[in-house]
Structures are given as C-alpha cells and as structure tokens.
C-alpha cells in the first residue's frame, strides 16, 4: 500500500488544506474533493450520522485514490480507535482530550508495541488483505498512523504542556466552539480574541514538543491567519456549509435580479 501522504506532508511541514465531511455519505465525494485540489478530507463521526460501514467504504476508496482520509471518532477510546484503524483509517482526529493520561491512552490504542498497546489484527482492510510477519506489520502500521489531539476545555489548557509532550500524539488542535463555550465567551465580542490567545498558546506548546498544529477556519482570511499562527494542517469549512453558501449566493443574486 501507499505511504500515508497526510503524515508525510505533515512531517515535512507542508501546508495541507482539507474540509469536513458532515453530510455527504457517498464515498465518491472523495473523488470530487481530490479533483478540486484539496489535500485531505475529514469525516466527522462525533456530530454527524456516519456509520462504521460508510466510513470503512470511504477509507477503502481513499486508499485507492491515495487521498488521505481523517476521521474524528465520537470518543477517543480503545473501541473506536481500534475499529477505525482496522477498517483502514490511518488518520485520527480525537476529540475532548483533557489530560496527559487521556492523550497517552489514545496514543497507546493507536500504536502497536513498542510504541503502544494496539489490539492485534494482522489481516484485513488495514493491511490491504496482505498477510505479513507480525514485526513487519506492526512497524508499517506504526509508521502510517497519524493522531491529532483536540483540546476543547480550560482544564485541557491547564495541562497543555503535559499533553503536548505525550509520545504518539502527532498534532494538536483546538475545538473552537466547544472551547469558547467552556470558557464562557461563545457568541460574545470576546470570543475571537480569546480563541486567538488560546491558538497561540497551543502553537507555542506544539513547537516546543515537535508536534504539528491543525486548525479550523471558514474563510480565506482565516486560512492566512491559521498559517501565520503556525498551522500546517488546515480544515476549511465543511461540505454542508460550502454547498449552502454556494446555493444561497446564487439564489440571492437571482432574486435581486428579478
């Protein structure tokens, strides 16, 4: 199988642009997003109705296209991590990581020994149905997986340095809406400057510990701001939001032209 282009580019420090998939469940949406020039797609299983079967089908096509698929599980526990990795998902975007102990458990579940305690399943979608000697299989899998930890609370930021230091966590990000809600600034004039401060703190900790920075935005100006902060993994908007904005703009133009 191909190497994980998402991880390879992240390690080089290349800027990657992707989008959330929150609504379109047909795997062929990946061919559209790749043709549009995006670098990855991120499926949201925390706040969207995607099933394991749908995500497994998407992961199969993503590997065939060599178009990286990232998945946010509903929770960063061993069950979800094991199922997604064994379905052939290589990139995890794990929500609600509040403590270094949680981060270490996520990293352990995502990696085989000697880096972790991932459950052994040696033959399946994640190996391309090729049976390999255990040592080779474990080394290849450990080299492919990429794990991003989402910090979404003040408690998480109180432990930021410790979380950022955890081996096996490759990138850090914030969950901007949940973090703003937790900090009590959601929907207030303070939201933007407060989140900017927390992004800066996260980026500084990531640099200190050799982690990548992932960020979310919904505007071209925001993309530039995230790059300036130090983000190299940038998620622009979502399938649903882009479709709605595109159709709304056309509908508005037609109505005003009547």
Q: State percent of the chain over pLDDT 90.
A: 97
pLDDT at 143: 96
pLDDT at 20: 98
Confidence band for 26, pLDDT divided at 50, 70 and 90: very high
pLDDT at 258: 78
Confidence band for 122, pLDDT divided at 50, 70 and 90: confident
Is the sign of the CA dihedral 46, 42, 150, 53 positive or negative?
positive
Tell me the Ramachandran region of residue 184: left when phi exceeds 0, alpha when psi lies from -120 to 50, beta otherwise. left
Q: Is the pLDDT of residue 84 over 80?
A: yes
Q: Is the pLDDT of residue 121 over 90?
A: no
Q: How far is CA 194 from CA 128, 188, 201, 225, 241, in A?
A: 45, 10, 11, 15, 24
Number of domains making up the chain: 1
Question: How high does pLDDT run on average in the chain?
Answer: 97
The domain that holds 74 is classified in CATH as 3.20.20.60
How does pLDDT run across 126-141, given as a tens digit for each residue?
A: 999 999 999 999 999 9
Partner residues linked to 217 by β-bridges: 236
Q: Is the pLDDT of residue 1 over 80?
A: no
How does pLDDT run across 181-224, given as a tens digit for each residue?
A: 999 999 999 999 999 999 999 999 999 999 999 999 999 999 99
Q: Is the pLDDT of residue 225 over 90?
A: yes
Residue-number span of the structural domain to which 156 is assigned: 5-257
Report the distance separating Cα 50 and Cα 99, nearest Å: 27
E-strand stretches of 13-106: 16-21, 40-44, 69-72, 91-94
Confidence band for 123, pLDDT divided at 50, 70 and 90: confident
């Amino acid at each position: 199988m191909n190497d994980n282009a998402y991880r390879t580019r992240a390690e080089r420090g290349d800027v990657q642009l992707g989008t959330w998939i929150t609504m379109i469940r047909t795997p062929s949406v990946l061919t559209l997003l790749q043709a549009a020039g995006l670098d990855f797609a991120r499926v949201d299983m925390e706040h969207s109705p995607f099933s394991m079967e749908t995500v497994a089908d998407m992961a199969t096509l993503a590997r065939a296209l060599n178009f990286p698929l990232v998945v946010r599980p509903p929770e960063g526990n061993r069950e979800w991590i094991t199922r997604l990795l064994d379905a052939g998902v290589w990139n995890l975007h794990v929500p609600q990581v509040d403590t270094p102990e949680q981060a270490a458990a996520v990293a352990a579940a995502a990696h085989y020994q000697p880096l972790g305690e991932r459950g052994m399943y040696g033959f399946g979608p994640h190996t391309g149905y090729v049976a390999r000697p255990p040592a080779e299989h474990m080394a290849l899998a450990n080299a492919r997986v990429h794990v991003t930890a989402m910090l979404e609370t003040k408690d998480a930021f109180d432990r930021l340095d410790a979380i950022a230091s955890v081996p096996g966590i490759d990138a850090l990000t914030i969950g901007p809406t949940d973090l703003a809600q937790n900090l009590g600034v959601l929907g207030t004039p303070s939201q933007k400057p407060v989140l900017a401060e927390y992004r800066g703190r996260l980026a500084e900790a990531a640099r200190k510990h050799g982690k990548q920075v992932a960020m979310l935005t919904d505007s071209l100006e925001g993309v530039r701001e995230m790059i300036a902060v130090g983000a190299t993994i940038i998620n622009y908007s979502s399938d649903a939001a882009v479709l709605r904005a595109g159709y709304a703009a056309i509908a508005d133009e037609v109505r005003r032209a009547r």
